[in-house]
Amino acid sequence: MTKVWSETLYDAFGQHFNADKVLFESKTAHQHLLIFQNAKFGRVMALDGVVQTTERDEFIYHEMLTHVPIFAHGGVKRVLIVGGGDGGMLREVCRHRSVKSITQVEIDQAVVDMAIQYMPGHSQGAYDDPRLNLVIADGLVFVRDTKEKFDVIISDSTDPIGPGETLFTEGFYANCKRCLNKGGVLVTQNGVAFMQLEEVKTTAKRLAPLYKDWGFYGAAVPTYIGGIMTFAWATDTKALRATSLPVLKRRFKRSKINTRYYNPEIHQAAFALPQYLQESLQSASKAR
């Protein structure tokens, strides 16, 4: 029988899905994991009552957090993914043949296992890629302790409640900086700016003193409700953000990667932010 599942992310506002069939539900060692079937969005994964990813719209989020930093950089060999247990980010990173090594640090083995079983279209076999080193650990602890360096770090975390909280701290951002090669860039999921403005401002306040170029870019992902999903961008190499359209087009073409959302024009346009957000970010970064 179809049940209605309601997301619990916000008070007084939310989204509902018909859960036509519950495929998996359990309390893992770290969080409550639910995977169900919905007629409009396909299979949906929720952690602790919050939608993480759906089969129908996942490509927008995963393409934008992967291809924007990798094509902006142009010479990425080593990538670190923090979180991302559903495997969608790993799939997109694996599509870059120029990437030689991928480390993924995910806190919850159960998310990886259940996503492979019930949402195989996300990873599409990427967990078998020989370039991958999968580490089951807290991302904060990993970046604090590792001696490895990366060209791109992608934080594909839950929201800053529960296990994901550590991935929004000053300590995490500072240790990511230490783990970046010269010319490297950190990108992170940072929630829906209109709904979670305080989270975006807090990140701005924490990134501003650490990175020479910090900011946000965005994309509308239907099941992250309430407006534009914001992705934080942090690097000491200002030129990356200004990578020209002809250069992005050349890199994209040479990669032979077929995308459904990303293209070089979207890449550049995604950095244009609405006025309310620009002003909030400016004042947040000065308020220390």
Find, among 196, 185, 188, the residue nearest to 277 by Cα. 196
Residue 273 DSSP SS3: coil
Kindly identify the residues of this chain, within the stretch 83-112, that bind ligand SAM according to CB under 6 A.
Answer: 83-86, 105-108, 111
* CA 128, 129, 130, 136 torsion-angle sign: negative
Q: Which of 69, 160, 163, 215 binds ligand SAM (CB under 6 A)?
A: 163
Q: Which of 157, 175, 203, 280 binds ligand SAM (CB under 6 A)?
A: 157
Closer to ligand SAM by CB, 81 or 248: give it: 81
Distance CA 48, CA 25 (A): 11
Minimum CB separation from ligand SAM for residue 139, in Å?
3
Closer to ligand SAM by CB, 53 or 103: give it: 53
User: Are 248 and 264 contacting, i.e. CB atoms less than 8 angstroms apart?
Assistant: yes
Minimum CB separation from ligand SAM for residue 157, in Å?
5
Distance CA 222, CA 14 (A): 13
Structure tokens at 287: 């308020």
User: Looking at 79-87, 174-182, 199-207, 254-262, which segment touches ligand SAM (CB under 6 A)?
Assistant: 79-87
User: Looking at 34-42, 161-169, 179-187, 268-276, which segment touches ligand SAM (CB under 6 A)?
Assistant: 161-169
Q: What is the CA radius of gyration of the chain?
A: 18
User: Are 66 and 260 contacting, i.e. CB atoms less than 8 angstroms apart?
Assistant: no
Check residue 41 and report its DSSP letter. T
The reply to whether 164 sits near ligand SAM by the rule CB under 6 A is yes
- Residues acting as catalytic residues: 156
Residues found near ligand SAM in the complex (CB under 6 A): 52-53, 61, 82-86, 105-108, 111, 138-140, 156-158, 163-164, 166-167, 189
